[in-house]
Amino acid sequence: MNELIPPAEADARISSSLTMLPAENVPLSRAVGRRLLSPILADRALPPYNRSMMDGIAFKATTISAEGPIKIAGLHPAGVPSPGPLPPGHAWEIMTGAIVPDDCDTIVPYEQLSPDLSKIMGSFKPGQFIHPLGSDARSGATLVPAGVTIGAPEIAIAASVGQTTLTVPRRPKIGILTTGDEAIHPAAIPEPWQIRRSNGSTLAAILDYHGIPIEFQQHASDDEAELGRLLDQALDSVDMLITIGGISKGKKDFIRPLLEDRLGAPSFHGVSLRPGKPLAFWPGPPDVFALPGNPVSVLATFTRFVRPALNQLQGLPNPKRRTMPPEDIVPLSKLTWLLPLGNRRNPLPPGNSGDFSSIAGAVGVLEIPSAPDFDPESPLDFYPFTA
């Protein structure tokens, strides 16, 4: 491991090496949560006609007396062309969303009419309850600018102007390579000296939640030749590789020398934080994060560093939030602390970086600066696991 660097310095080195992935066009059903690269434009004026905003009657104000009687010329629903000319003293029974005929300038809702629609109960004024042609946007106007994160409203707007696909950055192709002789398949029965693998399942589930495809996922024993072969397969097929384990100082920790043979020296190896101090990063393509193997360290470092990097590749904002620290938190003396938090901001500190059963119910990690930089009155960065 190299000399430890602060988390903020690790952020800067990671961020400076990342480039947003190329664009692709996707159907609306796959666009939510992604960055919009091309604006959504109005293909015609909005609304495209004078639109009735109420169910009621439509007429020309100068031809109708509030006292009545009013004669109904017929029913004019939404989704049909304008009817013929309206005789004086007559009104159309009109539905919400219908085009307002050119010879009508007023809508009176049912609530202000007598039961037989022959009399208006109260006053009215020309233009009421009419949504004028082009009052929302002119043809060609930008309805949604490029750069926003696409949500449900943007999908609705795109569909309303005939855009059935949207241009977004391509999803990153991810590789996951877990390591360790002691770690066996979750479905297997372990010997007393073995444990079941959980790290790959954890990251695969989070990536799937965010719609990010896993191009490569393998587990390797602590064998240098096998690790090298699997690394070569992964590096040839992904945009980002995440290795788990084998990055510390053990006699069988082969990840760093094998990656150095292929990619050169890491941008950093060692961050002043707990858990996750042995974290390493190689700039790409493909970008490589080497995470320590303990489950809490994996979840903490993935959430704190890898997830923001994945967002940057897709042109999305950093998922971190700001929140006040829980009461009675005592920071670590020299290291930044990635503290698991529950839904109610309740701390769930593990006994150690392998004690992942104690963080059940956690929804993310809170970054607590070391004691010299900690201020209990200042908000801190919180990184959610999945939100």
Stronger pLDDT, 253 or 378, i.e. the higher one = 378
Kindly tell me the number of DSSP H helices and DSSP E strands found in the chain: 7, 23
pLDDT of residue 351: 63
Sign of the Cα torsion 356, 361, 364, 365 reads negative
Percentage of the chain with pLDDT > 70?
98
Closest CA to 138 of 234, 42, 55: 42
Q: Average model confidence (pLDDT) for the chain?
A: 93
Is residue 354 pLDDT above 60, yes or no? no
Tens digit of each residue's pLDDT (9 = 90 or more) over 223-243: 899 999 999 999 999 999 999
Chain segment 42-81, per-residue pLDDT in tens: 999 999 999 999 999 999 999 988 777 999 999 999 999 9
- Predicted local distance difference test score (pLDDT) of residue 67: 73
Digit-coded pLDDT (tens) for 55-64: 999 999 999 8
pLDDT at 262: 96
Nearest to 55 by CA among 111, 135, 13, 15: 111
pLDDT of residue 353: 54
Residue 355 confidence (pLDDT): 60
Give bridge partners of residue 382 from the DSSP assignment: 321, 366
> 98 and 78 in contact (C-beta within 8 Å)?
yes
The H or E element spanning position 240 is strand 240-244
Q: Is the predicted pLDDT of residue 87 greater than 60, yes or no?
A: yes
pLDDT digit string, tens, across residues 114-141: 999 999 998 899 999 999 999 999 999 9
- In angstroms, the CA 287 to CA 239 distance is 6
pLDDT score, position 315: 97
Residue closest to 91 by CA, chosen among 125, 64, 128: 64
pLDDT one-digit tens code per residue, 334-353: 999 999 999 888 888 876 55
Q: Give the predicted TM-score (pTM) of the model.
A: 0.88
Report whether pLDDT(274) > 90: yes
Contacts of 64 (CB under 8 A, 6+ apart): 70, 89, 91, 106, 120
pLDDT at 118: 92
pLDDT at residue 203, rounded to an integer: 96
Most confident of 189-198, 202-211, 250-259: 202-211
Say how far apart CA 150 and CA 280 lie, in whole Å. Answer: 32
Instruction: Please tell me the predicted confidence (pLDDT) of residue 333.
Output: 94
Q: 161-198: buried (b, 16+ CB within 10 Å) or exposed (e) per residue?
A: bebeebbbbbbbbbbbbbbbeebbeeeeeeeeeeeebe
Indicate the range of 192-196, 315-319, 320-324 predicted with least confidence.
192-196
